Amino acid sequence: MARKPIKKTKKTTKKKAAVPQLQGFRFGSKGREPVRLKKTPSRAKKTGKAFQESQGRKMGSFSLLRGMKDVLPEEQKYWDLVRDKVEKLGSIYGFGKIETPILEETALFRRAVGEDTDIITKEMFSFKDQGGDEVCLRPEATASVVRAYIEHGMLNRSQPQKFWYLGPMFRRDRPQAGRQRQFNQFGFEAIGAGDSVIDAQLIILFYKICEELKMDVTVQINSIGCLECRPAYKKALVDYLKVKKNFLCDDCKNRLGKNPLRILDCKNRECQKMMEEAPQIVDFLCEDCKGHFIKVLECLDECAIPYNLNSKLVRGLDYYTKTVFEIWPLFDEQKEDQLGTQGEENEKGVSTNETNMTNKTNNKDGESVASKVDPSNLALGGGGRYDGLAEILGAREETPAAGFAVGIERMILVLKKQEVKISGSKKADIFLAQLGDQAKKISLKLFEDLRKGNIKTAENFSKDGLKSQLEQADKLGVKYTLIIGQKEILDRTIIIRDMESGVQEVVDFDKAVEEVKKRLK
Ligand code: HAM
């Protein structure tokens, strides 16, 4: 039913209330316009331009630093949704929340993430503090969680210790869609257990979070072996690439000596072409790593989690051993056509087939998921096993561990692209409109009573006119508006206006909450 139009209200001539004069001002002949007296009171505050001038400097406005983002109120529903799911599933799967500082010793990440990684060589927000200590804004949280695990002697507790976290990370990357300099991650870490079932459960948990968020995703998985078997693979890879060195990009020429595995997932198309015939790490895995990997895949099969074996997946942090995985968003062809690449750089820089994702496709319905991958999209998150990290960071004993982290901004980007329906915060049940100073005061108190009565009430106490308040109530789509003015105060009544029909009823003010509740039932 169409809402009844809001009638223009007659302007009532109000008796002007006596307004106390401010010190140093008198009211001019036009009434309310204050005229400054000659002598400015010495304690009067200088504001705005006058203040700037008095400071002898010209000040412009401020804007965000490059790669940073404000999260405005209208975005919060996405954040709340992700946070709620992470918290809920974290608790179900037995993970406890951990919070570590944003500021850490730079050396922690240098040692954990690896001296030759992009994160350490190019992306650290690192500086000397006033005390001369080399500190940084954390680029990730795994190293911090492992530091906390060691520092608090958690090795002596029952193993594994399972943690989840959520918070801002910092990388001085080139900003673009889905890549910021301050971004947020949630992550899960299971420290103190080497069983392959842990790797599988982490992947399942990651997949279930996406499933609960109604996101269409694919799991990419690989094993990069351990310190025993990886050197033989590295050698084979370097031998294979040596003769092709001139065709590699400058970064990869550099990587050939320092970090050859990263050439596997280089974005450059020429490099990717060179890698088509490259030796595959699975052929070099030792018995332990091979057995571990097969068991992880068997667990995933058991739980019907679809995955793609991706021999080019190596991850960008040095601490990984054995299993590595990522989750990528999927879009159906129709959506892909509509969305296009939208100017986003492909993190992989290569098409589905080029990333060799079609080696194995396992899908509950038996259909090929690889064919649906939108190559223009970035990984939602990734992780893997990091059996050597605790020892690298000073643990006295071998402490196997695994985990993953997810970029929340990227997740929200995908939620929006996949048009996942999100219910916003509950809209107001009623609007409380007031006319005049006295009514304003009474409304303030009534608002509290309505809140106590669990009635979600919208208001705009800074507005005086009834028309504008009714217009706002109409926009908010509330069922009823309570109206209180001078007459109602005298009669101790209140008007309840049905916004659908425009019908207004006068009820006893003391029964307002009760009457509203009756109507909202
Ligand atoms: P990562 O792959 O470096 O892994 O980051 C995980 C996720 O964080 C990425 O997949 C992405 O969604 C998000 N992310 C990374 N950089 C940016 C950026 N500049 N802007 C926006 N989002 C970004 C780690 O951080 C590991 N600590 C994961 C892990 C946990 N491994 C074991 N446990």
* pLDDT tens-digit readout, 237-295: 999 999 888 889 998 998 888 889 989 988 889 888 888 899 999 999 999 999 999 99
**If you take atom 8 of ligand 1, which residue's CA is the nearest one?**
407
Residue 404: give its domain's CATH number: 3.30.930.10
Residue 108 pLDDT more than 50?
A: yes
Protein residue with least CA distance to atom 20, ligand 1: 179
Q: Are residues 459 and 409 in the same domain?
A: no
Pick the more confident residue, 422 or 353: 422
From ligand 1's centre to the CA of 48, what distance in Å? 43
Report the mean per-residue pLDDT for the chain.
Answer: 85
Please report the pLDDT score of residue 29 as a whole number.
41
504 and 408: one domain?
no
Compare 189 and 21 and report the one with higher pLDDT: 189
Instruction: Tell how far the Cα of 350 is from the centroid of ligand 1, in angstroms.
Output: 20
What's the pLDDT at 423? 77
**Ligand 1: distance of its center to the CA of 47 in Å?**
44
60 burial level (CB within 10 Å; 0-12, 13-18, 19+): exposed
Q: For 179-208, what is the mean pLDDT?
A: 97
Q: What is the residue range of 142's domain?
A: 73-229+285-417
- Mean pLDDT is lowest, of 354-363, 422-431, 493-502, for 354-363
For residue 466, pLDDT beyond 70: yes
Degrees to nearest 5, angle at CA 266 with 263 and 272: 85
Question: Over pLDDT 70: what percentage of the chain?
Answer: 80
Do residue 185 and residue 97 come from a single domain? Answer: yes
Question: What average pLDDT does this structure show over 298-302?
Answer: 97
Residues 31, 129 within the same domain: no
Report which ligand 1 atom has the smallest distance to the Cα of 317: 3
Measuring from atom 13 of ligand 1, which residue has the nearest CA? Answer: 407
What's the distance, Cα to Cα, between the start and end of the chain in Å?
A: 20
- Kindly state whether residues 406 and 434 are assigned to the same domain: no
Any idea what the CATH number is for the domain that residue 466 is in? 3.40.50.800
Atom of ligand 1 nearest to the CA of 181: 19
What's the confidence (pLDDT) of residue 56?
60
| Residue 457 pLDDT exceeds 80 | yes
**Residue to mutate (ligand 1; options 95, 104, 176, 183; most atoms within 8 A of CB):** 183
Nearest to residue 436, comparing CAs of 387, 476, 489? 489
Q: Is residue 56 part of a domain?
A: no
Residues 398 and 438 in one domain: no
pLDDT the model gives residue 45: 53
Q: Is residue 262 part of a domain?
A: no
User: Distance, CA 184 to ligand 1 centroid (Å)?
Assistant: 9
Amino acid letter, 171: R
Q: Is the CB of 329 under 6 A from ligand 1?
A: no
- Positive or negative torsion for Cα 264, 268, 269, 271: negative
180 and 299 fall within a common domain: yes
Pocket test for ligand 1, best of 406, 410, 411 (most atoms within 8 A of CB): 410
Please, where are the H alpha helices in 93-186? 106-113, 118-122, 142-151
Give yes or no for residue 63 having a pLDDT over 90.
yes
Statement to judge: residues 161 and 208 lie in one domain? yes
Statement to judge: residues 162 and 32 lie in one domain: no
Instruction: Say which range, 126-135, 248-257, 365-374, 419-428, has the weakest mean pLDDT.
Output: 365-374
Share of residues in the chain with pLDDT > 90 (%): 70
Which pLDDT band, with edges at 50, 70 and 90, does 400 fall under? Answer: very high
- For residue 5, pLDDT over 70 is answered with no
- Please check the confidence at residue 101 and state whether its pLDDT lies above 60: yes
CA of 258 to the centre of ligand 1 (A): 22
pLDDT of 342 higher than 80: no
Confidence of residue 426 (pLDDT cuts 50, 70, 90): confident
**Gap from CA of 315 to ligand 1 centroid (Å):** 10
Give Cα separations from 507 to 143, 416, 518 (angstroms).
64, 45, 12
Tell me, what's the pLDDT at 331? Answer: 78
pLDDT given at position 7: 54
Least confident of 167-176, 186-195, 246-255, 294-303: 246-255
Q: How far is the CA of 406 from the centre of ligand 1 (A)?
A: 6
Indicate the pLDDT class of residue 58, thresholds 50, 70 and 90. low
> What pLDDT is attached to residue 60?
86
Q: Average pLDDT, stretch 449-461?
A: 96
Indicate if ligand 1 lies below 6 Å from the C-beta of 112: no
| 92 and 217 fall within a common domain | yes
**Would the pLDDT of 4 be above 80?**
no
- Same domain assignment for residues 85 and 127: yes
Distance from the alpha carbon of residue 38 to the mean position of ligand 1, in angstroms: 63
pLDDT of residue 477: 95
Answer whether 233's CB lies under 8 Å from 345's CB. Answer: no
> If you take atom 14 of ligand 1, which residue's CA is the nearest one?
407
From the CB of 403, is ligand 1 less than 6 Å away?
A: yes
Shared domain for 346 and 215, answered yes or no, is yes
| Residue that finishes a domain, picked among 364, 393, 417 | 417
pLDDT over 50 (residue 27) = no
In a domain, 445, yes or no: yes
Q: Which atom of ligand 1 is nearest to the CA of 180?
A: 20
pLDDT for res 266: 87
For the chain, the farthest-separated pair of C-alpha atoms sits apart, in whole angstroms, at 95
Tens of pLDDT, residue by residue over 374-385, are 434 689 999 999
State the pLDDT at residue 427: 86
Distance from the CA of 455 to the center of ligand 1, in angstroms? Answer: 42
Average pLDDT over every residue of 66-93 = 96
The residue whose CA has the least distance to atom 12 of ligand 1 is 407
